[in-house]
Every structure is written in C-alpha cells, then in structure tokens.
Structure 1
Amino acid sequence: MRFSKVRIAALGHEVPPATLTSLDIEARLQPVYERLKLHPGRLELMTGIRARRYWPEPVTPSLVAARAGRQALERGGVPVEALGCVVHASVCRDFLEPATANVVHDALGLPRGCQVLDVSNACLGVLNGMLLVANQIELGQIEAGLVVAGENGKPLVDATIASLLADPTVTRKSIKSHFASLTIGSGAAAVLLCHPDLAPEAPSLEAVVVRAATEHHRLCQGGAAAEGHAPMDAGVGAGTSLSMSTDAEALLHAGVALAHETWAELSLESSFTPGAPPDRVVTHQVGKAHHLGLFAALELDPSTAYTTFEDLGNMGSVSWPLTLAQAVEAGFVQRGHRVAVLGIGSGLSCMMAEVRW
C-alpha cells in the first residue's frame, strides 16, 4: 500500500518516572532463584534489558495515552476540529466496554464528528491504527486522525513475580516461559496523522505492508488467567489475574522468519533496495536476541538502529513509536532520512512502513 497524501504531523510520548531494574526483580525472586540455583544477572544476560519504567501512582491507559495525545496535538499544530478519527491502540485498556478511545476523546475535547474506536493487535496496534487513519486521509474522508496508546506493564510484572513465588513446582525449564513477562515496561505514545495541506513540511508516510503467520498464535498468549487455567482458557471476571506465557525461542525464530518475508514485500512497495537501504531503522523493542537476529536476517546495518529496550524494556504497542520519538529528539532521525518502521505482534502479525522524514 502506497500513500501520497499522508503526513506525520507530530509524535507524542511519555516515559514513566520510576525505574525497576532486572536486578530488582531478581531480588524479589530470591527464594525461587535459590531453590533453582539461578544467579542474579540472568535476566539481563538473556534479554539485554537492564531496567524498565513504571508509574508509581495508579494510572489508567487512557490517562497516559491522552497525555501523549495532547503533546502530539500541541506539537503538530493541527486544529482539533480537523480530527476525524481517534484510535486507542494499546494492549492495555481501561475496560472491555466502552472503547477506551471514548475516554481519550473526552479528555482531549475532540469534535463530536470524530470517529472513536479501539484497535487491539498485541504490540502491533499502533501501526494498525495508523493504517486505518492513513487510508481515510488518503481517500479524502477525513483531514486528520490521532492514534494513541498507553501501556502499564507493572501489574503483569508484579503478578508474574507473585505467581512464581507461590508455585513450588516451578523448574529451571518452566520458568523460561515467564521471563518475557518480566521484560515488560510501561509508556505512552501518540501519532498525529494529517493531509499535507495541514502540515506540508511534515514527514510523509510512503508505504505500508502487512503479513500474518497465524499458525503461531499460541507462542505468546496473555490475558486473564483463573486458578488452574492457562490465559487462553479463562475469561475476564472475578478470580482472575494477569498472566502471560511465552515460548521465547520459538517466537524469536518464527518472528524473524515472518519479518524476512515482510521485508521482501516492503522492498517492492518502498524505495528500499539492497543498494539503497534505509537511512534509519526503528523496530518494536523486544530485547537483545530479537534485535540482533532481525538485523542479521534482513542484512541491515545495526548502526542505523535506535534502541530503547536496554532501559525501557518491551513497552508493547508503545515501543516503536516512543523509540522513534526519542530518536527524533536525540537528532538520530533527521530531515531527509528514509526511515524503516518494523513492527511485529504476537499472533503472529507483522507490519512495516517507509517514512520519509
């Protein structure tokens, strides 16, 4: 899918103030580590993640998503009355019904004619939301749209630690499926998209491609887990808590294979070729092994990447847009750069985009 009438007017983001290091987590897991004869430092060694952030005060996804959205609106200079769609696209949400986007719409004072909806697709939600908004702009249906996300990973980390401490049957093998849950961070991000008439000098969305390998939908599953049930077996209700189970090694191999397939498709839709690779690359942030495996498989120069997983962990749907926002603020992404955005989410689904900064 190619675009000629879509600009990224602004990005917004929020990094929570409190830090939770991998060593902090392992200190809380000391009884489990001692019983299994595991050494502190293992979590960072396996993932490359030193720390992740969280909000010390109670927050809702809509609250932090709206703050990022307000920042994007202030930076972009797009009139609020021009917005025709707002999408809340994170894994976390305030409730199942109504759409969390309603809370964001109200908080930002958006027009009554602005479409309101949630998009849920694991860590890929923001790119899915952008594609929905971009298509409406390209078709002339709306002038501008806002995609927001707010991820609060602390409850999952806390629930995972509590579950491991309470489980006397956990082994060195079974604990591996929980390590991914301990890498989850928190953050908020927003992407403001518009027609060129509203922001003629803003970066342009050039192309988007999608691929799905849904045969891998069981490799990473999270949600509400009742006692004695896996996450996929329990609905949301009384007696349930957050849980996520991940086959990290299988997910890594399947994800890199799907990314390779998607990259080949993007090469047909974008300006990227082996002789003219992207100037900058921003990806979903999972960890060290995924990052190295991805760049090796796609034969991309690691020096073109900006990463945040080391100190922010895996922030779900917020990971790549927040990373892009920080890359721009740091001057790593500059005007004229051809930027490859590489997104992937459990399921598996993959989306990639070219943005001309």
Structure 2
Amino acid sequence: MTDVRILGTGAYVPERVVSNDEVAAAAGVDDAWITAKTGIRERRWAAGDQATSDLAAAAGRAALRSAGLTAEDLSVIVVATSTPDRPQPPTAAYVQQRLGATGAAAFDVNAVCSGTVFALSAAEGVLGRTGGHALVIGADVYSRILNRADRRTVILFGDGAGAVVLGASGGQGPRVRHVALHSFGDLSGLIEVPAGGSRMPVDETVLDEGLQYFTMDGRGVRDFVGDHLPRLVKGFLHDCGVTPDDIAHFVPHQANGVMLDSVFAGLDLPRATMHRTLTHYGNTGAASLPITLDSAARAGAFTPGDLILMAGFGGGMAAGFALVEW
C-alpha cells in the first residue's frame, strides 16, 4: 500500500450561530430538551449566498496553508457531500475552480456521514497510481434540506466543511495506516431525502408533502450503530494488527452527543480520548470527522506516534474507519 501521509488539516464553519432557542420554537421543544437529548447547544448555518462549494473551498484553503502547499500542487480533489451545490456538475468542480487547482482531477463521493472516510480511501487509491498530493474535503449544508418543524432532525444538524491534504511521497507527517469501508443497502430507508432524484422528481405534490426534506428514523439509526459499530471496530482493529489498548484517540462522526457516549462506552477503548465538536457545531454530516480532526490537531491534542481511530457512520447505511498514526 502507498505510504500516504496527512500533510495538513483545515476547517470552516459559517459565521451565523444558531442557538437551541432558535430551532426549538418551530420544532415544539425547548433548549433544555435539545441539550438533554443531543448534547448540542448551538450550530452554524450557511448564509443565503453560501453553497456547499463555498464552505468546502474555504476549508480546502485552510488545509493547504497548514500543509505549506498551493492549489497548483494538487493532483486530485475529492469532495464528500450529500448536499451538493447542484445535481450536476460535481461540487468538486466548483471547488477546483475556486481554488485555482487547474491541474487537479475533481470528483464527488456521497456516502452521507461516512463520506470523508470513503473519500479518503478513494484519494489514497488515486495517489497510489499518480503520486502527488490530494485534497479531501467533507462538506455539507444541511440547513437547506431540513424541515424546520421536524424535531427529529432540525435540532441536530449544522453546516460546515473540513479538509485534509494527503501526500504520497512518504517521509514525515501522520500516516494513514489502514482504511475499511462497509455498506448496508438493505437499511437505506433509515436516512434519506425521498424526492429530488430520478426516482421521484420534485413537483407540486412532492412540495405539498414535504418529500424534498431530509428524513431519519432515529430509533433505527441508534439500533444500527449499537448493533454494528462495536463489532466492526473490533474487526477493524484486529485487521490492523492493533489492540483497543493501543488507541490513544477516538475521532467519531458527530452524530449526537448522547449516542456518542453510548457508542464510546461499548467500544472498550480504555486509553482513548474521544474528541467532540458537536456541542457548538452540531452534526455537520460528512464535515464532522475532518472538522473534529482539525480541531484536535490545532489544539495540540495529538503527539507523534499516537494512534487515532476515525469512525464515520450514517446514511446508506454505511460505516468507514481509518487508523492514523500521528
């Protein structure tokens, strides 16, 4: 396997802070209820003139600065998103244009909240053939697809983008030691946006019934995570040749704070510190993993040699894991 290193990280969240009080009114709940159910106190929502590509490009610039590289150094850009600017072209094409990365191939990956790990794997494969540098971005603007009256979803989601720059030349920097991807299509109905694609184009009936909005079976998602994640993580660590005691940091998808506490307890990682950003940013979809990785890295949480377990899980249903040696 190509020796792929993380050369830099970056993140961007919109300026607008949306409190629990703001989302609670239309959803028929209050701040205390949201905090108790989710651990989220606020989130960021994009401005009216911001699309997913704008957030993604800002995070990409931050990651390039961290890596000491320019857009001209990139050979590939992969954007993980389930809220693209448009159905076509890929959001990555807009990001390429905004960054001025004229020599980079650019494409999207949609694995919903696991998307950044899937994109990381895709970029690793490209670098194995071409060498050079890759920019992997997770970005989502969920505020545009939320039903503000649906308390199951509107309280959870925020907008944001996170990014990592990868290099295939070896040498110094955190090493991506292993990646594993899983999909469970028989559970695809647990998280979805019913309309807007070729199965159900948007028309007046769709709009009347609100089928253009994001929907989630919260109980089904919790059951999926509880039933699958501990087993998958145990198998992943075994395949990597490490033990739970070896993991120093756990960087999970920021789904829900209460869920994360339950997940972390069930993983039995006795030495690991779990990192969170959801208190202030909410669930930012594919962006949550790279935002949280960047936050911890910039806070100096990682030391050389630390093993970091990154875990994405969500719609598809899907799960993706990456083991990084800092």
- TM-score normalised by structure 2 residue count: 0.90
Which residue in 2 is equivalent to 1:169? none
Q: In structure 1, the residue corresponding to 2:232 is in which secondary structure?
A: helix
Counterpart of 2:138 in structure 1 is 149
What is the percent sequence identity of the aligned residues?
25
* Alpha-carbon separation, structure 2, partners of 1:18 and 1:234: 33
Q: Does 1:71 align with 2:70?
A: no
1:57 positional shift: 4.3
Give per-residue Cα distances to partners, 1:160-209, cap 9 Å, x unaligned: 12xx3xxxxxxxxxx6xx41343100111111111135xx2211100011
**CA displacement at 1:312 relative to structure 2:** 1.0
1:256 maps to a residue whose letter is: G
Measure, in 1, the Cα distance between the counterparts of 2:77 and 2:300.
28
**2:110 equivalent among 108, 120, 132:** 120
Greater Cα radius of gyration, structure 1 or 2: 1
Q: Which residue is 1:207 aligned to?
A: 178
Q: Report the counterpart of residue 6 of structure 1 in structure 2.
A: 4
2:216 matched residue in structure 1: 246
Aligned to 2:96: 105
Alignment partners' CA distance in 2, 1:149 and 1:90: 6
Aligned to 1:195: 168
Residue 61 (structure 1) aligned with residue 52 (structure 2):
yes
Matched, 1:257 2:227: yes
Which whole-Å CA distance do the structure 2 matches of 1:102 and 1:39 have between them? 40
2:250–2:272 Cα contact (<8 Å) kept: no
Structure 1: state its 5+ residue gaps: 165-174, 226-230
- Deviation string for 1:230-285 (max 9, x for gaps)? x99632467646412211112111123221232122112324314x3310110000
How does 1:164-203 map onto structure 2 within 5 Å?
164=149, 178-197=151-170, 200-203=171-174
1: distance between equivalents of 2:40 and 2:271? 18
**1:248-327 residue pairs with structure 2 within 5 A?**
248-274=218-244, 276-301=245-270, 304-327=273-296
Any gaps of 5 or more consecutive residues in structure 2? none
Deviations 1:205-233 (A, max 9, x none): 000112222221111112547xxxxx996
CA contact (8 A) 1:295 1:302 kept: no
Asked if the contact 1:122–1:317 (Cα under 8 Å) also holds between the matched residues in 2, the reply is yes
One-letter code of the match for 2:137? V
Count of matched residue positions in the alignment of Structure 1 and Structure 2: 322
Q: Secondary structure at the match of 1:202?
A: coil
CA contact (8 A) 1:69 1:148 kept: yes
> Which is worse superposed, 299-308 or 328-337?
299-308
Amino acid of the structure 2 residue aligned with 1:248? G
Tell me if the contact between 1:283 and 1:343 (Cα under 8 Å) persists in the aligned partners. Answer: yes
**Residue aligned with 1:327, SS:** helix
For residue 214 of structure 2, give the secondary structure of its aligned residue in structure 1: strand
1:55 and 1:102 map into 2 onto residues whose CA distance is 20
TM-score, length basis structure 1: 0.83
- Match of 1:20, as an amino acid? V
Structure 2: distance between partners of 1:267 and 1:8 = 20
**Contact 2:77–2:96 (Cα < 8 Å) also in 1:** yes
Take 2:194 and 2:177, find their aligned partners in 1: how far apart are those partners? Answer: 35
Q: Secondary structure at the match of 2:310?
A: strand
1:16 to 14, 17, 21: 14
Aligned to 2:36: 45
Q: 1:109 to 1:40 in 2, by over 3 A?
A: closer
Residues 277-296 of structure 1 deviation map (CA, whole Å, 9 limit, x = unaligned): 31011000011222022112
Distance 1:72 1:39, change over 3 A: closer
Secondary structure (helix, strand or coil) at the match of 2:165 reads: strand
CA distance in 2, matches of 1:266, 1:303: 16
Superposition deviation, residue 125 in structure 1? 1.4
In the alignment, what sits opposite 2:81? 90
Report the Cα offset of residue 336 of structure 1. Answer: 2.2
For 2:241 and 2:174, the matched residues in 1 are separated by 15
- The alpha carbon displacement at 1:21 in A equals 1.6
Tell me the secondary structure at the aligned position of residue 150 of structure 1. Answer: strand
Residues of 2 paired with 1:40 and 1:53: CA distance? 16
Q: Secondary structure at the match of 1:281?
A: strand
